[in-house]
Amino acid sequence: MSENATAARRSAIYLLDQILGEGRLLSECLAAGALDRLGPEDRARAQRLTLETLRGLERADRLLDNHLNRTPALTVHNALRLGAVELCHGEAAHGVVNSMVEIVGRSRKHGRLKGLVNAVLRKVAAEGPEAWPKMRVPRLPEWLREPLIMAWGAEAVAGMEQAQFTGAPLDISLKPGATGPGEALPTGSMRLHEAGQVSALPGYGKGDWWVQDAAAAIPVRVLAPKPGEKTLDLCAAPGGKTLQLAAAGADVTALDVSESRLERVRENLKRTGLTATVIAGDALEHQGQYDAILLDAPCSATGTIRRHPDLPFAKDGSEFGALIELQAQMLAHAWNLLKPGGRLVYCTCSLLPDEGEVQVEEALDQFPDMAVDRAALNIAGIEPEWTTEEGGLRLRPDYWPDRGGMDGFYIACLNKST
């Protein structure tokens, strides 16, 4: 049994405890140094195991329920869940079972349950691999599933759940004139289904491209920045859109409230040889006048579930009301920063209409000098049925199912009259 494999599993169980027990996002745990003691290979393995377990959580629980008289303590339950997922994904039973028994057995609080772990996982090893593929695609938690069904219907939500269960390939955006690995997507991004270590891929070191989901690359294409235009990227981190704007030759100001997250923007600007003015500050306090503005507003991030399966389990929707109010305030303030004759793209990586379609409908009622630019959506790869009644663009994870899906986004281009 590998000590490194056990260390990665122990860390994955800790991450599951934080996500399912404390409501923390995986990104928050990683930023707090949850995996800093592991080497690069084990860090990657711990993250992969965590994500695989979250994607298959419903199936794992159904298998385990057959052999549990009552639900054990969360840490033990998560060890069983992780073990069940690994076993059903084809990992050798001996290594998985022994590793989980060791992890639980070393716990002062739960060590007495190592016999239970051993017995249950051996039963799962015997029956799980055959039963696993016959089980239904795991469903989203009800707090998210119900509003999504109300918005898009049960069939669409089933497609979203399939996308979350499958996971996401790696998408990249190219600098103009550069080439990169992967297959070309209709919207201009490149997609890799088996990426491996990103920094080892051809062109990364030269700064020819950056990682960015294909859906997340569309707002800048809708904005269509022009060389020399004074352009503001509000809520800029982690910086993919800033890089797109800079690559188009715009005079870019990248603003974000988080100084630490802006470090990643600066690093990518340096790697790609692109230029932008990077400022840490509150979007609601920023002043200036701009020809074009991109507002990727803080949101529920529900559109990213295929890449972040922790989100539906770490959140419960209770903070969405405050986010919706903040979005309305940001859109109103950004509108005051836009020069007459300018254009603003409002977008959110959310699947909830209250964070997208409804925000734009209400803004159109509030600002008489605002108009939706439907023609801005006439870009490569956009399907006509993706456009919405008020003139925006609705993207969903169940789109492109044969290609690996896309993030959920809402995008609208708003013109300011002169």
Active-site residues: which are they? 349
Phi, psi of 300 (to 5 degrees): -70, -15
Q: How far apart are CA 361 and CA 384, in angstroms?
A: 20
What's the 3-state SS for the chain?
CCHHHHHHHHHHHHHHHHHHHHCCCHHHHHHCCCCCCCCHHHHHHHHHHHHHHHHCHHHHHHHHHCCCCCCCCHHHHHHHHHHHHHHHCCCCHHHHHHHHHHHHHCCCCCHHHHHHHHHHHHHHHHHHHHHHHHCCCCCCCHHHHHHHHHHHCHHHHHHHHHHHHHCCCEEEEECCCCCCCCEECCCCCEEECCCCCHHHCCCCCCCCEEECCCCCCHHHHHHCCCCCCEEEEECCCCCHHHHHHHHCCCEEEEEECCHHHHHHHHHHHHHHCCCCEEEECCCCCCCCCEEEEEEECCCCCHHHCCCCCCHHHHCCCCCHHHHHHHHHHHHHHHHHHEEEEEEEEEEECCCCHHHCHHHHHHHHHHCCCEEECHHHHCCCCCCHHHECCCCCEEECCCCCCCCCCCCCEEEEEEEECC
Token digits of residue 38: 């592991």
Cβ 201 vs Cβ 193: under 8 Å: no
Q: How far apart are CA 101 and CA 105, in angstroms?
A: 6
